[in-house]
Amino acid sequence: MLDQLRARIAGLPLTSGVYLMKDGAGTVIYVGKAVNLRRRVQSYFRGRIDNVRTALLVENISDIDFIQTHSEAEALVLEAALVKRHLPKYNVELKDGKSYPYIRISDDPFPLVSIVRLPSRAAGEASGGKLFGPYTDATLIREALTLIRKIFPFRSCEPLSGSTCLYHDLGLCQAPCVGQVTAAEYARSIRHIAHVLDGKKDDLYRELRQEMEELARTKNFEEAARVRDRMRAVGALYSSSPDINCFKETEQLQRALGLARPPERLECFDISNTMGSFSVGSMVSFLNGTPDKSNYRRFRIRTVEGIDDFRMIAEVVRRRYSRLKKEGKAYPDLVVIDGGKGQLQAAAGELRALGLDIPLIGLAKKEEEIFVPGKRAALILSRDSLALRLLQRLRDEAHRFAVSYHRLLRNKNLFSGKNPA
């Protein structure tokens, strides 16, 4: 197990980001940020550990995931959002009663966004607005808020000045003080900021896309282009540094498959087992052409015995999208199945049973054939097609993720002496 972890750590990038440490059950037990992911994570496994809490953490680590960011400040915002989402048992430093900075959005008609300090125990007692955090570094959170403000401008003057200021001239404020933005328009921008701070990327993208499409329908193309640019900026904020080709890839894929819009959120499924034993499924998620590891999922097959990839694909697709439907969460723009017509039909049947109309394709590895429900002939894209390269990266990552989970279960059973399940 330690050798597998060392190999995993050796593959971490030398860039800023967030790392998620998981136990044997796949539960996130610690979330941390780093200016250099590989060096920071390596430090946990070098030399003697004097801190008891850290020693217990390291003892329970079975896997490590990561999300790259453009800066340490962006990593700080993402770290806080992921801690709030996963509630990792070893992230106690954000709950020890010390005074940490929070971001506060006031409850004014034109809310003020500011940084405040409150002891952690008082966070839930604060009134007069909404708090986000706590954050561990005041300097970094100021930098992160500056980045967010470039995408979604907000006011920082208190009280409203009654005249425009330098922030408005720099494009960092919508000038509510002189009536250049309505309360409804300003509230929408504040809601988007809250989604960023909460890590609710899917909700944010859904709202921005609806806004862009409505503007396009009313032929307000200039403003629609501004919203599109905000979507791209948000994608860059929370994912690894994007290849400038990523938007060309999704646009090519849209044209090749006849989709209504470029597929920004892709989800791909794969199955891994050894002669029907230790059967698992994986689902990986790409956002704007880059891995979004916080949305990866893995599944132990529950309802299928023996070798039956079709029924296994059906099970994991059913479990994934029945849960999204139950929780009212956003669906992906495109679902990709690693396999041919049989796997595709199995997945399509589950989506129909759930009453969902999500674009779906199968990608058969041998000839890289793309199968679409209802079409007899396979779609063949040029080997140098950007769209095909995107699908290959997605499919290969799903395969890697499935195999790594399969090996983890197989090795655990090998060392425990248990029979395959």
| Contacts with 334 (C-beta within 8 Å, 6 or more apart), sequence order | 253, 257, 259, 263, 265, 266, 267, 358, 359, 360, 361
Average pLDDT over residues 140-169: 79
Comparing CA positions, the residue from 327, 270, 337 lying closest to residue 297 is 270
Q: What is the pLDDT of residue 420?
A: 47
Q: Which residue has the higher pLDDT, 237 or 258?
A: 258
- Tens digit of each residue's pLDDT (9 = 90 or more) over 242-280: 447 567 888 899 999 999 888 989 999 999 877 657 788
SS3 sequence of the chain: CHHHHHHHHHCCCCCCEEEEEECCCCCEEEEEEECCHHHHHHHHHCCCCCCHHHHHHHHCCCEEEEEECCCHHHHHHHHHHHHHHHCCCCCHHHCCCCEEEEEEEECCCCCEEEEEEEEHHHHHHCCCEEEECCCCCHHHHHHHHHHHHHHCCCECCCCCCCCCCHHHHCCCCCCHHHCCCCHHHHHHHHHHHHHHHHCCHHHHHHHHHHHHHHHHHCCCHHHHHHHHHHHHHHHHHHCCCCCCCHHHHHHHHHHHHCCCCCCCEEEEEEEEEECCEEEEEEEEEEECCEECHHHCEEEECCCCCCCCHHHHHHHHHHHHHHHHHHHCCCCCCEEEEECCHHHHHHHHHHHHHCCCCCCEEEEECCCCEEECCCCCCCECCCCCCHHHHHHHHHHHHHHHHHHHHHHHHHHHHHHHCCCCC
Q: How confident is the model at residue 351 (pLDDT cuts 50, 70, 90)?
A: very high
Mean of pLDDT over the chain: 83
Peptide bond into 159 cis (omega under 30): yes
Give per-residue pLDDT as tens, 156-204.
Answer: 777 776 777 777 777 888 888 888 889 898 999 999 999 888 877 778 8
Query: What would the pLDDT profile of 78-99 be if each residue is shown by its tens digit?
Result: 888 788 778 888 876 555 545 6
Task: Indicate the pLDDT class of residue 418, thresholds 50, 70 and 90.
Answer: low
CA distances from 417 to 279, 332, 414 (A): 18, 40, 5
Burial 189-210 (b: 16+ CB within 10 A, else e): bbebbbbbbbbbbbbbbbbbbe
| Parallel/antiparallel/unpaired status of strands 290-291 and 277-287 | antiparallel
pLDDT tier, 416 (very low <50, low <70, confident <90, very high otherwise): low
According to the per-residue pLDDT averaged within each range, which of 35-39, 45-49, 123-127, 247-251 is highest? 35-39
Question: What pLDDT was estimated at residue 240?
Answer: 41
Percent of the chain clearing pLDDT 90 (strictly above): 27
Asked whether the beta carbons of 258 and 248 are under 8 A apart, the reply is no
End-to-end CA distance of the chain: 20
User: pTM for the complete prediction?
Assistant: 0.51
What is the structure's pLDDT at 91? 78
For the segment 328-347, what is each residue's pLDDT rounded down to a tens digit? 888 999 999 999 999 999 99
Highest mean pLDDT among 32-41, 78-87, 124-133: 32-41
pLDDT for the residue 119: 55
Please give the Cα distance from 70 to 65 (Å, whole number): 17
Dist. CA 314–CA 344, nearest whole Å: 9
Domains of the chain from N-terminus onward: 2-91 (3.40.1440.10), 93-242 (no CATH), 256-416 (3.30.420.340)
- Confidence band, pLDDT 50/70/90 cuts, at residue 369: very high
**What pLDDT score does 238 carry?**
57
The pLDDT value given to residue 373: 93
